[in-house]
Amino acid sequence: MSSKPKVYGIWGSPPFGAVTMCAKVLGVELDVEIVNLLNMEQLNKEYIQKCPQHTVPLLDDNGFFLPDSHAINGYLVNKYGKENDPLYPKNDIKRRALIDHRLHMDSGIVAAKGFSITRTIGFKNVKPPQEAFDDLKEAFALLNKQIEVQNTKYMVGDILSIADFSIYATVSNWGFFLKNWENEFPHIKAYMERMKQEDWPEVNDKGVNAFKALFEVRLKELGI
């Protein structure tokens, strides 16, 4: 059996990007298998047997299947990280709780609003209602206030955590749908600029470029 964990995903997916960034920081080599979402490969019977929610990324660690980037990154740190790794510590319950909060903020608010737009454009090929873009803008406003209030280098304190991988990946893609968001949300902008000074975001660049190339065409076709 393979010693490398396999991750099913596609370049351009923020959650997949989050997992690749986490793996880079941990020094874990991933066996990547591409699942073409636009060709609906995630709905193949074989894939659904592994991932009933038919999403990416999906981790296959020698037969142990785990969906959702937030859960996957926590698992990777617990398995491959240092003892009580600050990326997602086992023993520091307060820091871990704050990391969990930021992860839920990403999955339940910021990322969720962006996905409603990409699903409508990517899978239905129709123009989303203005409300969808307004909801995403509101989510960015909440994130901007969170970063302002906490006033720390990273999403949780001044030490990198798995929350940074998720937030960074989400903003990198979903900011594409909000014109001039950098001017409206200066605290997010400053956070993103700080993260770009590190080496781990570079593995996400391929995905961001792929996402923008695809959706620039789609937006033009839909007159957005």
Q: What is the CATH number of the domain that holds 55?
A: 3.40.30.10
Give domain status of residue 156, yes or no: yes
Is the same domain home to 68 and 99? no
Q: What is the CATH number of the domain that holds 208?
A: 1.20.1050.10
Sorting pLDDT into bands at 50, 70 and 90, what band is 40? confident
Q: Is the pLDDT at 2 greater than 60, yes or no?
A: no
Tell me: cis bond preceding 57? Omega within 30 of 0 counts. Answer: yes
64 sits in which H/E element: strand 64-67
For residue 85 the two structure tokens come to 């790794």
Is the same domain home to 123 and 197? yes
The arrangement of strands across the sheet holding 31-34 comes to: 31-34, 6-9, 58-61, 64-67
Is the same domain home to 192 and 127? yes
How many domains, in total, are found in the chain? 2
Cα–Cα distances (Å) from 11 to 50, 57, 170, 176, 214, in that order, read 20, 10, 13, 16, 11
pTM, to two decimals: 0.96
Q: Is the pLDDT at 5 greater than 70, yes or no?
A: yes
Give domain status of residue 85, yes or no: no
CB atoms within 10 A of CB 90: 12
Nearest to 208 by CA among 173, 166, 171, 167: 173
Residue-range definition of the domain harbouring residue 45: 6-80
Cα–Cα distances (Å) from 65 to 56, 74, 172, in that order, read 12, 14, 27
In the chain, what's the furthest Cα-to-Cα distance?
Answer: 52
3-class DSSP assignment, residue 62: coil
Is the same domain home to 204 and 102? yes
Is the same domain home to 76 and 108? no
57 sits in which H/E element: none
Query: What is the overall mean pLDDT for the chain?
Result: 95
Cα–Cα distances (Å) from 135 to 32, 164, 189, in that order, read 33, 22, 19
Q: Is the pLDDT at 24 greater than 50, yes or no?
A: yes
Domain boundary (56, 80, 104) is at 80
Q: Is the pLDDT at 136 greater than 60, yes or no?
A: yes
Q: Is 13 a catalytic residue?
A: yes
Quick: pLDDT tens for 190-211. Answer: 999 999 999 999 999 999 999 9
Is the same domain home to 75 and 111? no
Give domain status of residue 213, yes or no: yes
Sorting pLDDT into bands at 50, 70 and 90, what band is 36? confident
pLDDT at residue 1, as a whole number: 44
Residue from 2, 13, 116, 161 carrying the catalytic annotation: 13
Is the same domain home to 56 and 158? no
Is the same domain home to 107 and 205? yes
HEC readout, 76-116: HHHHHCCCCCCCCCCCCHHHHHHHHHHHHHHHHHHHHHHHH
pLDDT at residue 43, as a whole number: 85
pLDDT at residue 41, as a whole number: 77
Domain boundary (35, 58, 80) is at 80
Sorting pLDDT into bands at 50, 70 and 90, what band is 144? very high
Is the same domain home to 186 and 137? yes
What is the pairing mode between strands 31-34 and 6-9?
A: parallel
Is the same domain home to 74 and 149? no
**Burial degree of 46 (CB within 10 A; 0-12, 13-18, 19+):** exposed
pLDDT at residue 25, as a whole number: 98
Give domain status of residue 86, yes or no: no
Cα–Cα distances (Å) from 170 to 115, 131, 213, in that order, read 10, 19, 17
